[in-house]
Amino acid sequence: MKDEAGEDIAFEGALGIFVDHDKTIYVCDTDNFRVLIADQNGNVSDVWEQPDSNLYPDDLLYQPSKITITEKGYTYILILGGYYGALLYSPEHEFLGFYGSHTVTASALDTLTYLWNRLTQTDAKKAASAKKLPFSFVDLCLDSEDYVLTCTEASPDDPDNGTGQIRKLSPTGENIMFKRQTDGSSLSADSINFVEQKVVEKFGKLRKQNIVSLDVDENDFIYALDSQKGLVYVYDDECNLLCGFGGGYDNAKRIGIFDSAVALCICGTDVLVFDNDNKCITVFERTEYGNLLVQAQSAYLDGEYLTAKPLWEEINRRNKSCQLAYRGLAIAYLSEGKYEKALEYAKNGLDYTVYDLAWKAVRNKFILNNFVWIFLVVVALVGGLIAFVIIAKKKHLVLIKNEYVKTALSLPTHPFKSFEEIKTKNKGSVIIALVILLLYYLANVLQAVGSGFLATNVVVHRYNTGYTLLKTVGIVLLWTVCNWLISSSFEGKGRFKDVLIATTYSLLPYVAFIYIKVILSHVLSLSGLRILDAIGTVVLIVTFYILCIAIMSAHEFDFFRFLLTAFVSVLFMILVAFVIFVVIILLQQVGNFFTSVFTEILYR
């Protein structure tokens, strides 16, 4: 580049460049604290330096790193390490302020810590305190509608990879990127993990992934570059992952593998990735399959489901693992009125919304075609039940003669009377308690693997029955032991047997509800299941109410002593669980030690 006098202008260390539609070149001369503006021949016509404005903080060093300009002439500039957001300039190059800054999220613990520090503030504590600041943008680009998409620096404190790193900003600077969940709800992009679930190991160290560059193509698909794995992730406007390519775990010199991928750019349908260590640019061309995927998903997002159908069919033929293809075909069949096919593909694509719509249509059609028979069966059942109740009352029929079983079953309607009889007349049974506990465990297993598609998201072959055993039978037994020990120290009268019977008997309403829910989950739609979940919350409250009565009756406590012992029992449960966890870890380490010793002995 040359200035007006024809002298060369050095801009070593420049980190960003942008070419406007009129061929004007903007260079972020980072190390020299300026932006150079030149024509296509390299003649510099203007230089932007730090804005002379009260809106610009004195403590922010002006080191421009990225620049982009909208069709209307608004300019966005990123400052190296700046956490205030992007600098925004008007078409007349007037500095308007900062745009789209991240906010620091604070938990309830952070708020309490802040209040405590304010109350106990000293000069020493103030000097040692650290201020939590938002993370800065590292890249930005514009989509076809001039919305700004940004890439945010990864947080070292975040246990996840890539969470919330990509944002799409409205004119007011708010993140408007959302992901449509399979159940129809929306999830903000701030909560979405844009890379892998697990932290990878590279060069012998665990390294978090970090998206360092992004760009969009003509269809507004987002290409994001991860610097750790060297992968390029492709997302659509609804945060659906289309594919990933590239890579780089080591220093191998292979085409398409990077040592230090630092930037990417979209040129038509090609993706250009710059490798800093190898000093090269790798160009990726879109494959035929990639063209099909982009065309199909674009039509899907535009609502042209039938247009996308043959494309999805071809994609599904080539790749049976493409979840987007199943979803696209599901909604296409739904649009055609082929509801059974829509159910099949929606289930394979885990699309609960389309499955729900198709299931409603199938269910309503079945009811309409068989209404007479259904009506007669319901009338017969209701009439038979009413007649049976009337006859049973007149003839004083006793269906359940076993006093122990009768006491257990009468508990939900008469909890005080039932537990009084268990306590005074010894009508509680350990066998019945264990049967209820077994039914509770089986109910949870059945709920996970036997519920209707809309009511569960468990992958059957990955389901762990041992974990279910721990969170059902294990927790009940742990509560029984801890409450018995703690209550005994508070002069409680209940024995271990009494606490076990009281706890398990209290679970009866909830156990019955789970079995009913499993059956109804094969019939109800999503709206019906939500109502059922609300009823389930009420049943849980009733169960806790019955448990309170049961424990108070078993130990002969008043309500406040029950609350105290229950609270201490829960703390004791946490302590016991922690000790068990530590012991298991120690046993594993001891086992690994002896295994290593035994292996060494074998080799020697």
Kindly report, residue by residue over 302-325, the tens digit of the pLDDT: 889 999 999 999 999 999 888 899
Rounded CA separation 312/326 (Å): 8
**Type of residue numbered 256:** G
Rounded CA separation 499/478 (Å): 11
Q: What architecture (CATH level 2) is domain 1-99?
A: Beta Barrel (2.40)
**Span between the terminal Cα atoms of the chain, in Å:** 70
pLDDT for 119 equals 56
| pLDDT single digits (tens) 395-426 | 766 666 777 787 777 877 788 888 887 777 77
> Which regions of the chain carry the CATH code 1.25.40.10?
289-371
| pLDDT single digits (tens) 452-501 | 888 887 777 778 888 889 889 999 999 999 989 998 888 888 888 888 98
30 pLDDT exceeds 70? yes
Q: What is the mean pLDDT of residues 587-595?
A: 82
- Give the H/E segment covering residue 45: strand 44-48
| Sequence-separated contacts (24+) of 272-277 with Cβ below 8 Å | 273/225, 273/232, 273/246
Q: What is the mean pLDDT of residues 8-24?
A: 85
> Which regions of the chain carry the CATH code 2.40.10.500?
1-99
| pLDDT single digits (tens) 550-581 | 888 888 888 888 889 889 999 999 998 888 88
Which region, left, alpha or beta, applies to residue 370 given φ > 0 means left and ψ of -120 to 50 means alpha?
alpha
Lowest-pLDDT choice from 182-186, 539-543, 554-558, 576-580: 182-186
Please, where are the H alpha helices in 338-495?
339-348, 352-369, 371-395, 403-409, 415-424, 430-449, 465-469, 475-489
Average pLDDT, the chain: 83
The upper half-sphere exposure of residue 403, i.e. CA atoms within 13 Å in the direction of its Cβ, equals 6
Rounded CA separation 226/200 (Å): 12
Structure tokens at 85: 């957001």
| pLDDT single digits (tens) 88-110 | 899 888 888 888 876 545 444 45
332 pLDDT exceeds 90? yes
Beta bridge partner(s), residue 562: none
pLDDT for 205 equals 65
Which CATH homologous superfamily contains domain 289-371? Tetratricopeptide repeat domain (1.25.40.10)
What's the pTM?
0.74
